[in-house]
Structure 1
Amino acid sequence: MGTSLNLGQLSETGFMIFCYLSVALLGLFVGSFLNVCIYRIPNNESIVRPRSHCMKCGHKLGVPDLVPVFSYVFLRGKCRYCGQKISPRYALVELLTAVVYLLLLYKYGLSVDFLASAYLMAILIAVFFIDLDHMIIPNGLVIAALIGGALPFVYNIFRPMDIYADRKWWNPLLGAFIGFGFLLLVAILGYVVYKTDEAMGGGDIKLFAPIGLFLGWKMTIMTLFISFVSAGVISIILLLLKKKDRKSTFVFGPFIVIGTFCTYLFGWELLNWYLGTLAIYQG
């Protein structure tokens, strides 16, 4: 009996190790693809053709040159053919995607919630770096997120997803409306008060529509809260360090990405803690 139990535990442990290794590997390769998207989409280039090549000498890269992270390490951050230095950010994006996927797997296990969150975060990682570099959020990425958001919306009608916490069919639709509508209101108020259309970027507004579909209305509010708080804290720090001034433009997209990821990991825990604290004070 004890032997059987131990074998069962070993089998389960081995399966979980296999799952984590597989997801880490998946994250590395997805991150490699995201590098292509991050570079090519803002330049209106195809993400399919031409094949990956060195930006300096134009030499097409072979399989040994494209192994995520490991190629960068083994080639010592240089092109095999011309010796041009390769930005370490390529490896960083690959590692970041793998870590994000592992944390989501730890949170949700092998589930539809994991698949949905992994899909959205892949798009948002690309958004993070594109907005940071070019101060734009491409419509193509927003559309891809909207298409993906339709799947958890439909699935929730038949079987509840953890992130929604209920089976109300309108939950994700309300989330999309709240996210999109709130930022649109901020933009309108900014234009009325400050006579500028820079209070909130159009890409930021559109991006919250698919985020709302993925998260539902309660977690969309949580994401808005975390995004604005993190943006405010970082902005104050940059102003104090004199890295930015009051007239500088701050990109909001990266903070939306951070807010969404934090919500996936801790959103319900934060909301329940807040409601519990509120109940204690009211009591």
Structure 2
Amino acid sequence: MAFFYILAALVGLLIGSFLNVCIYRIPNNESIVMPPSHCMKCGHRLTVLDLVPVFSYVFLRGRCRHCGEKISPRYALVEMMTSVVYVLLFHKYGLSVDFLASAYLMSILLVVFFIDLDHMIIPNQLVIAALIGGIPIFIYNIFRPIEIYGDRNWWNPLLGALIGFGFLLLIAILGYIVYKTDEAMGGGDIKLFAPIGLFLGWKMTIMSLFISFVTAGVISIILLLLKKKDRKSTFVFGPFIVIGTFATYLFGWEFFNWYIGTLQMY
């Protein structure tokens, strides 16, 4: 079993290296395939020695091997985060369709996390990629159950997509009516919850929404108290969606069953 944990960690590192390319290039409307990876300053094409996830950054002391330009530590951070995410998901679901589905979605969401932080946008390409990945999961569930759904109803993921998309759309509409602004909820956030609903099913979509909003609320209050933000500041919601979805994958059903059990006590 230890072999599979190590394999999940290594695959996560490799995928994380690719996600770094996506995080940098997609907002700039650049191809994620061509040209090959290169130094942003000197343009020198990076070799295998420069591209070993995390280890290259450590051994090169965070600098380009050719021109000495400083490399952002975030490249190594993304690789390590992806590796940790893969290991935790494997620990939760083992080698299964649930693991493959969750790893696929979380890979896309990690890209969303950093792009939204940097540019305050969620590119349509990522939403489409997530939707495409959700289609085979929906089809597979018709024949064999997906654990995260909690049942075998074929319409479960479709209802999840409708709830996720519809709830945030409703918030956006109400925000526009009350505050006369379209900034109550970003369009990218609304669209992103459609594929998330496909992957999570309707019950866990509600759980993901709940965790996302609670996390966003707590962090926003802390930032306001620390005077890092003010009430007129714009808060990105994408990173909290990512946190909420990941937490749901790991603990969603446990929290849901605890909550239902608590209600039944009264």
TM-score strictly above 0.5 = yes
CA distance in 2, matches of 1:152, 1:215: 10
Q: Residue in 1 aligned with 2:206?
A: 221
* Residue aligned with 1:163, SS: helix
For residues 133-157 of structure 1, give each alpha carbon's deviation from its aligned partner in whole angstroms, at most 9, with x where no partner exists: 0000000000000000011111111
- The 2-side partners of 1:105 and 1:241 are apart by 37
Structure 1: runs of 5+ lacking an equivalent: 1-15
Partner of 1:85: 70
Query: What SS does the corresponding residue of 2:148 show, helix, strand or coil?
Result: coil
Identity of aligned residues (%): 83
In the aligned structure 2, how far is the partner of 1:107 from the partner of 1:18?
16
Distance 1:78 1:107 in 2: 37
Alignment partner of 1:107 is 2:98: no
Instruction: Give the counterpart letter for 1:255 in structure 2.
Output: F
User: Normalising by structure 1, what TM-score?
Assistant: 0.94
Q: Which residue of 2 aligns with 1:230?
A: 215
Task: Determine the structure 2 residue equivalent to 1:194.
Answer: 179
Structure 2 CA distance for aligned equivalents of residues 166 and 160 of structure 1: 7
Task: Answer yes or no: is 1:127 the counterpart of 2:116.
Answer: no
TM-score (ref. length: structure 2): 1.00
1:11 aligns with none
1:203 corresponding residue in structure 2: 188
Which residue in the other structure is 2:157 paired with?
Answer: 172
Aligned counterpart for 1:36 among listed residues 21, 27, 43: 21
SS of equivalent residue, structure 2 residue 265: helix
4+ residue runs of structure 1 moved beyond 2 angstroms? none
- Whichever residue aligns with residue 207 of structure 1, its letter is L
Q: Is the counterpart of residue 157 in structure 1 residue 129 in structure 2? A: no
Name 1:267's counterpart in structure 2.
252
Shift of 1:204: 0.1
Shift of 1:161: 1.0
Amino acid of the structure 2 residue aligned with 1:78? R
- Alignment partners' CA distance in 2, 1:110 and 1:57: 42
Cα distance in 1 for residues equivalent to 2:163 and 2:183: 20
- The total of aligned residue pairs comes to 266
Measured against aligned partners, the alpha-carbon deviations of 1:69-111 in whole angstroms (never above 9, x if no partner) come to 0000000000000111100000000000000000000000000
Q: Give me the whole-angstrom Cα distance separating, in 2, the residues matched to 1:101 and 1:65.
A: 23
Deviation at 1:57, TM superposition (A): 0.9
